[in-house]
Structure 1
Amino acid sequence: MLIRTLGTFIAVILLAFAVPAEAAPPRQLLEDVGSSYPRVIRLEHGPGAGRIITSIGSMIDGKSVGLIHESVDRGRSFQRVAVISDPDLTISRGMCCATLFELPRKVGDMPAGTLLWATTAGLDTGNDRRVRQRVWRSADIGRTWTFLSDIAIAPNAQPGWEPELSVAADGSLVAFYSDESDTTRHDQKLVRVRSADGKTWSAPVDTVKHQRHGVRPGMVGVRALPDGTYFMVYEVCNIDFQRNCGIYFRTSKDGWDWGDPIDLGTQVITEAGRYPRHTPTIAWSPNTGSDGAILLISEMLVEADGSLSAGNGATILVNDPEADDPWEEFPAPIPVTGVNNEGCRNFSPSLLPSRDGRTVLELTTDLDDGVCKTFVATGPIPID
């Protein structure tokens, strides 16, 4: 077992809900602005190594932007260091669903440590829209950003969503995203493309799809593990009520070949039969347990019958690298109440474990006076 028993978890979570609000785990606003899709990384290369960098989607003067923040005190405080805006506002109206990534090795003319920020753009450009997955780069620890390329452009008016970046074993930059353009066969599927330089991209390749038209794999997250394995999570919606938008995972030996796309992979289920729903993200914690561990957070947690769990909106799941055993639960640093698939509260949260594997930094969204904002807090990872 990686963490303390389920009984300990239940006692902790019930205590958290029973104490007065002022005694709840502390959380602070990342910035007092409306925001979505928080992402967080710790830099591993170059002069900024050790700094924590975050991104959120927001609006300035009615335009969609990305806001970049930095912490130099291990997540105790954050300062905004950059605003990313699209140079071509005619095609970028309605940006959404961004991701943040540090290159672990050189790709093209971009050295290790280059920061990449990818987003969906063009959701609000009318009936003739061609939604794009677009990527920017920064060579100065996130201070300035330059548009790099269009990862993919939809072939019709149907959208794509939520790009995710990784570097495969062969050194190519890989981008994954949810694709709705294959309208006659799939309501949505996961696809991937790759590039040798971040500028020119291949045609899309199917990654996860279902034979039933209405089933929707999406919200992909990918991490490279120390042993060379690549670990992917994603939600699969519209299978059935009890498993609706449940979270699945699969692995790859090289970061490009993910097996038969019709195979949905393995569903994430806890020892008590609970399962997470919606908006999964993952992080690798190298010093949690004996061999490191995968941490997974999602919008919701439900019981085996689909009803809301007591830990809904307030739980992180953990498993060893093989992920063969049921997933274990522990309290998230930011318990969000009232979560039930409504688009803000705990929607697509993000995690960053400490280097020693004993604590985890969480970024998540919640309503604040009716506005969706990003909060940040750090909490313990219970270890045997």
Structure 2
Amino acid sequence: MLLSFLTSFIGLAVAATNPIDTFANVTVFQPDSGAVSYARTESLTNGTLLATWSDFAAANNTIPIYRSADNGFSWYTFGSVTSDTEGRRLVQPHLLYLNESFGDWDAGSVLLAVNAVDDKSTNIEVYGSADSGESWSFVSTVATGGKANTTNGATPVWEPFLMMTNHKVVCYYSDQRDTQHGQKLSHQTTSESLDAWGSAVDDVAFSNYSDRPGMTTVAKLPNGKYILTFEYAMLNATGKYRYPIYYKISNDPENFGTEKAYRINVNTGVQPNGGPYVTWSPIGGVNGTIVVSDSDHNSIFVNRALGDGIWTEVKTPAGRAYSREVRIPTNDETKLRIAGGAEYGQTDPSQVLLTIMDLAKALNITS
């Protein structure tokens, strides 16, 4: 516990000596038409960021990579990722910076997991870049499912999330291939190379067939445990789905399956709903602060007790967005980076927007 406190204190002190600027809703990308969403960013070094997003209306088989050299205040086109398979659109991206070498990839390489979708299949694929995101090559396929279809009984895979932990790379995703579940959450792991993924393991699988947990994100906590958030799609009395946010906590990021699921209960009575994203900040005391965003609110929801008890609603200057991302900048841990695009179901043109907010100030942390 003392070590965790010292680590948090030192991290805060270092960040305070080199604070980054705050700003609200800077434009990363403005499409000519159509809605873009599912924005994702990744920190490289020295304030350099990469960003990408989903464009479900894209007619080609590429996904853009944008770059910022000033902590996200300005952006420019940097690269693109192209599917090796004609007719596949790359959507639902997730970026991962490798801070250590892994297999054939040196430290400093960047990975991109996507759902490569065509009219017959969904495919969780991984691409890699050895030059900070400018050029990319196909690396491997993690999982393959049926065509994109959210109807129970269909067999697609969705929504990859990459994490490196314990010298392994884990790919979490939503999985409709099990006939016992309308949808469940699974992961696959590789410990040696990015083309040697292990078998799928259940993370969240409920006994009620119609339940559809989805959209995994994971963060490591200072006590060595891990938190997994997800939307728990369940039918209400009228036969329509609702999507409250739930979470699990485990000692092992590869063993969430047997852990209990908890709903996020908020002090204001607000119910976070749909498309969660979780991150952890070292500020806020010995336990730091868990931060969760959802798709329906401007607010974030925070917990400073390692997931126990009631969560607190905190207002942000960022807008609502489907699967809005929250990340802690690696060069200033007192801040929170928020990236988003269109709201769920939006069809009119939508920007990809990025916000840096002062998390310490929002939490009333003064030292």
State TM-score, norm by structure 2.
0.81
Show the 5 A alignment for 1:348-367.
348-354=323-329, 355-366=331-342
Instruction: Indicate yes or no: 2:359 matched with 1:383.
Output: no
Aligned twin of 1:325: 309
Q: Contact 2:63–2:91 (CA<8 Å) still a contact in 1? A: no
Q: 1:239 & 1:60 partners in 2: Cα distance?
A: 29
Q: How many residues align?
A: 325
Aligned twin of 2:4: none
Which of 244, 247, 271 is the equivalent residue of 1:246?
Answer: 244
Q: 2:57 & 2:273 partners in 1: Cα distance?
A: 31
Q: 1:56 & 1:35 partners in 2: Cα distance?
A: 7
User: What's the secondary structure of 1:276's corresponding residue?
Assistant: coil
Instruction: Indicate yes or no: 2:229 matched with 1:212.
Output: no
Q: Which structure ranks higher in relative contact order (CA pairs < 8 Å, sequence separation ≥ 6)?
A: 2
Q: Residues 315-354 of structure 1: CA distance to partner in whole angstroms, max 9, x if unpaired?
A: 0111126111211111122134xxxxxxxxx101112334
Which of 270, 273, 286 is the equivalent residue of 2:269?
Answer: 273
Cα distance, 1:264 vs structure 2: 5.1
Cα distance, 1:366 vs structure 2: 3.2
User: What's the secondary structure of 1:296's corresponding residue?
Assistant: strand
Q: Contact 1:333–1:362 (CA<8 Å) still a contact in 2? A: no
Q: 2:57 & 2:241 partners in 1: Cα distance?
A: 38
Aligned twin of 2:17: none
Q: 2:215 & 2:91 partners in 1: Cα distance?
A: 12
User: What's the secondary structure of 2:50's corresponding residue?
Assistant: strand
Q: Contact 2:38–2:323 (CA<8 Å) still a contact in 1? A: yes
Aligned twin of 2:162: 165
Name which of structure 1's ranges 239-248 and 229-238 shifts more when overlaid on structure 2: 239-248
Q: Contact 2:113–2:127 (CA<8 Å) still a contact in 1? A: yes
Q: Contact 1:58–1:67 (CA<8 Å) still a contact in 2? A: no
Aligned twin of 2:78: 81
Instruction: Indicate yes or no: 2:144 matched with 1:142.
Output: no
Query: CA, structure 1 residues 227+89, in 2 after alignment: closer, same or farther (shift >3 Å)?
Result: farther
Q: In structure 2, give the amino acid aligned to 1:348.
A: S
Which of 175, 184, 209 is the equivalent residue of 1:189?
Answer: 184
Q: In structure 2, give the amino acid aligned to 1:193.
A: Q
Q: In structure 2, give the amino acid aligned to 1:320.
A: R
Q: Residues 61-82 of structure 1: CA distance to partner in whole angstroms, max 9, x if unpaired?
A: 7114322122221221112211
Cα distance, 1:289 vs structure 2: 4.3
Q: 2:158 & 2:316 partners in 1: Cα distance?
A: 26
Q: In structure 2, give the amino acid aligned to 1:383.
A: L
Query: CA, structure 1 residues 371+64, in 2 after alignment: closer, same or farther (shift >3 Å)?
Result: farther
Q: 2:184 & 2:347 partners in 1: Cα distance?
A: 36
Q: Contact 1:58–1:65 (CA<8 Å) still a contact in 2? A: no
Which of 137, 145, 162 is the equivalent residue of 1:154?
Answer: 145
Aligned twin of 1:36: 37
Query: CA, structure 1 residues 357+153, in 2 after alignment: closer, same or farther (shift >3 Å)?
Result: same
State TM-score, norm by structure 1.
0.78
Q: Residues 242-265 of structure 1: CA distance to partner in whole angstroms, max 9, x if unpaired?
A: 9931111112223211241xx551
Q: In structure 2, give the amino acid aligned to 1:185.
A: Q
Q: In structure 1, give the amino acid aligned to 2:205.
A: K
Aligned twin of 1:306: none
Q: In structure 1, give the amino acid aligned to 2:116.
A: A
Q: In structure 2, give the amino acid aligned to 1:351.
A: V
For structure 2, list consecutive stretches of 5 or more residues without a partner in the other structure: 1-22, 148-153
Q: 2:285 & 2:104 partners in 1: Cα distance?
A: 38
User: What's the secondary structure of 1:372's corresponding residue?
Assistant: coil
Which of 87, 93, 100 is the equivalent residue of 1:98?
Answer: 93
Aligned twin of 2:151: none
Aligned twin of 1:235: 231
User: What's the secondary structure of 2:351's corresponding residue?
Assistant: strand
User: What's the secondary structure of 1:238's corresponding residue?
Assistant: strand
Identity score, percent: 25
Query: CA, structure 1 residues 277+264, in 2 after alignment: closer, same or farther (shift >3 Å)?
Result: farther
Query: CA, structure 1 residues 60+27, in 2 after alignment: closer, same or farther (shift >3 Å)?
Result: same
Q: Contact 1:120–1:133 (CA<8 Å) still a contact in 2? A: yes
Query: CA, structure 1 residues 59+153, in 2 after alignment: closer, same or farther (shift >3 Å)?
Result: closer
Cα distance, 1:56 vs structure 2: 1.3
Q: In structure 2, give the amino acid aligned to 1:168.
A: T
Cα distance, 1:142 vs structure 2: 0.9
Question: What CA RMSD, in Å, does the superposition of the two structures yield over aligned residues?
Answer: 2.5
Q: Contact 1:135–1:151 (CA<8 Å) still a contact in 2? A: yes
Aligned twin of 2:54: 57
User: What's the secondary structure of 1:249's corresponding residue?
Assistant: strand
Cα distance, 1:278 vs structure 2: 0.3
For structure 1, list consecutive stretches of 5 or more residues without a partner in the other structure: 1-24, 301-312, 337-345
User: What's the secondary structure of 2:121's corresponding residue?
Assistant: coil
Instruction: Indicate yes or no: 2:145 matched with 1:131.
Output: no
Q: 1:287 & 1:145 partners in 2: Cα distance?
A: 35
